[in-house]
A = this chain, B = another copy of it.
Amino acid sequence: MIKAGIVGGTGYTGVELLRILARHPDVEVSVVTSRADAGVRVDTVYPSLRNFVAVSFSQPEIDTLAQCDVVFFATPNGTAMQMAEALLARGIKVIDLSADFRLQNIPEWEQWYGMTHACPDLVKHAVYGLPEVNRAAIQQAKLVACPGCYPTAVQLGFLPLIENRLIDTQQLIADVKSGVSGAGRKAELATLMSETGESFKAYGVGGHRHLPEIRQGLSHAAGETVQLTFVPHLTPMIRGIHATLYAQINASADTLQAIQALYEQRYQHEAFVDVLPQGAHPDTRNVRGSNNCQIALHQPQGGNTLVVLSVIDNLVKGASGQAVQNMNLMFGLAETTGLDIVALYP
């Protein structure tokens, strides 16, 4: 059994890791940390885990975590970079769900995240944990930086077009809608039900931290710096991300049928990326609670603008599920182990 530790077990990505790992046949969660709730049983804070998780929260100390084979960071930005080196030094694999190791460009990271990076040299050794792009590297990795929720939905939607040079990479638009759980589990006015229920809004249009991450991934695939307009929105639901992507097809572009075939081929061996029949409209509910990404293609009025619809559960494929998928790869397990979860519908 793989002994796993979770640092920051009281956020939504932490409890979601517990939901998934509680049923993982090859993993035993031996440490779950929380400064605030140290000493309290995890299932006291989360009654949904009663009969599934028996451990109590402990203080986030290296010595306690040292018993683990792998440590997940489900922490706010800035925590993993403080502890990762010490854990790696002890031969413990690290999977960071926060943003600390996502951007290779340190000055850009420090500008967007507003702090000085604690271990810039370690960043170049971190592998960006998008298995559909970096599978081989992840299998060898000691430190994996899990992608953000928006970047996962947007990159999986754009990749086949960019890898095949079918669109104008200088004019990408990603209009993305997220459920409120993406804002995390913290006391805030802005995400009260009275504030977000029955209402819809855009936010961070001027600039969102996931923009440089998406740009880094797509630019790498394009072999050139792409230009992207990214507009995130807050949707009155708890889970789910729906990315509506717009791209201008190149003059030389294939027919929609050909592009559809290309998407199906690109993802045919991917267990968690599902290309729907041409013209479909994916619902976020159809991936709720599952690690799936469902994608559909449209070319309205046969025009020059291609529309890609890409949906995921922000807490699963957008965070904890993808983290477990990465763990499976890092430990040589079948990639789908513990992730055979059917979406909860209705």
Contact = CB atoms under 8 A, between A and B. Distances in A.
A269 interface: no
A181 B194 contact: yes
Contacts of A240: 198-200
A294 B47 contact: yes
Given A47-B283, A193-B193, 12 more contacts: A50-B286, A50-B292, A179-B200, A180-B194, A199-B285, A200-B235, A200-B283, A200-B284, A205-B307, A207-B301, A229-B305, A235-B235
Task: Return the 7 tightest CB-CB contacts between A and B, nearest first.
Answer: A199-B285, A48-B343, A194-B346, A193-B193, A48-B345, A175-B175, A205-B298
A273 B196 CA distance: 23
Interface stretch (A107-115, A140-148, A154-162, A182-190): A182-190
A281 B242 contact: no
B200 A237 contact: yes
B196 A198 contact: no
Say how many copies of this protein the assembly contains: 4
A175 B244 CA distance: 8
A230 B282 contact: no
Interface in A215-256: 227, 229-231, 233, 235-240, 242, 244, 246, 248
B239 A236 contact: no
A283 to B, nearest CB: 4
Interface string A46-81: 111111100000000000000000000000000000
Contact of A186 (B50, B189, B342, B344): B189
A187 B189 contact: yes
A288 interface: yes
Nearest to A196: B193
Contacts of A282: 47, 201
A40 to B, nearest CB: 13
A317 interface: no
Contacts of A49: 342
A231 B344 CA distance: 26
A332 interface: no
- Interface centre among A238, A242, A244, by most chain B C-beta atoms within 10 angstroms, is A238
A312 to B, nearest CB: 12
